[in-house]
């Protein structure tokens, strides 16, 4: 009887942990995933120089990843569906459209009592610059296989960027601020995040954004790619700590 109860309790805990993991990792957009991960993980403390390095490399990787999706012409990541719609309707570049839309989200969060951090604003500005730079540098591939290779590489690049952002402990993103404002008003962060992400994609589609099979591929694979990136960074940090611990004193 005790063994049965123990197994039942273990199974229940396992399901709860699996559910929590799903709520953490499954996301529609990179901003939503960052916000979800921030709720469940404690940011690592890093010196400012290392934080700035992560900002730089994260922005470059996002610029490369989004640009690969754009030139694949099979659809863009979920968040960028809205940005491509703004780009096409305003004549702005894709990076500038990102500034405009994220600025709108920051403004809403500010009105709700949540102020963005300077590092978050810098990160968004650098993202826009990187996206526009790499969109101009990369050419459109013609073979379908090569276009799908662009999609896979773009997903891995964005996942690596998000892992770097989380590893650096950068906080105060637009989605995170909106979720924090919702939590202060008694709204479940998981439901609010899903509602915000879904509406961003839906409105982007209605406005003519670049939705395609690559968008679905991104949504289905981003979480697994992110987990791999986080594990690699975590393994590197633990290995470095171990190397420093066993290094002979000079």
Encode pLDDT of 6-45 as tens digits.
334 334 433 443 344 444 445 566 665 665 665 444 444 4
Encode pLDDT of 46-60 as tens digits.
556 777 788 888 889
**Tokens representing 140?**
């459109």
d(CA 116, CA 139): 35
Helices and strands: H and E segment counts in the chain: 10, 0
Q: How many CB atoms lie within 10 A of CB 88?
A: 15
d(CA 125, CA 100): 10
| Rounded average pLDDT over 100-111 | 94
User: Domain extents for the chain?
Assistant: 44-246
Contact between residue 106 and residue 177 where contact means Cβ atoms under 8 Å apart: yes
Does residue 211 register a pLDDT over 70?
A: yes
Sequence-distant (6+) residues with CB within 8 A of 96 are: 87, 128, 132
d(CA 103, CA 228): 31
Looking at the whole model, is its pTM more than 0.85? no
d(CA 220, CA 236): 26
């Amino acid at each position: 009887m005790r063994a049965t109860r123990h197994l039942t309790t273990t199974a229940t805990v396992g399901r709860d942990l699996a559910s929590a993991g799903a709520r953490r990792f499954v996301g529609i957009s990179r901003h939503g995933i960052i916000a979800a991960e921030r709720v469940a993980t404690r940011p690592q403390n890093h010196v400012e120089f290392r934080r700035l390095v992560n900002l730089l490399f994260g922005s470059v990787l996002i610029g490369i990843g989004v640009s690969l999706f754009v030139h694949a012409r099979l659809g863009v990541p979920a968040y960028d569906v809205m940005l491509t719609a703004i780009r096409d309707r305003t004549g702005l570049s894709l990076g500038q459209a990102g500034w405009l839309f994220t600025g709108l989200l920051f403004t809403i969060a500010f009105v709700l009592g949540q102020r963005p951090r300077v590092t978050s604003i810098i990160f968004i500005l650098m993202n826009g610059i990187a996206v526009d730079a790499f969109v101009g540098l990369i050419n459109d591939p013609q073979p379908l296989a090569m276009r799908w290779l662009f999609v896979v590489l773009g997903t891995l690049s964005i996942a690596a960027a998000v892992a770097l952002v989380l590893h650096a402990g950068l906080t105060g993103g637009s989605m995170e601020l909106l979720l924090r404002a919702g939590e202060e008003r008694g709204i479940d962060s998981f439901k609010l995040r899903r509602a915000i992400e879904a509406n961003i994609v839906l409105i982007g589609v209605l406005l003519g954004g670049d939705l395609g099979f690559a968008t679905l591929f991104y949504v289905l694979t981003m979480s697994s790619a992110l987990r791999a990136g986080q594990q690699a960074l975590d393994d590197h940090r633990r290995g470095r700590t171990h190397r420093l611990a066993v290094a002979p004193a000079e």
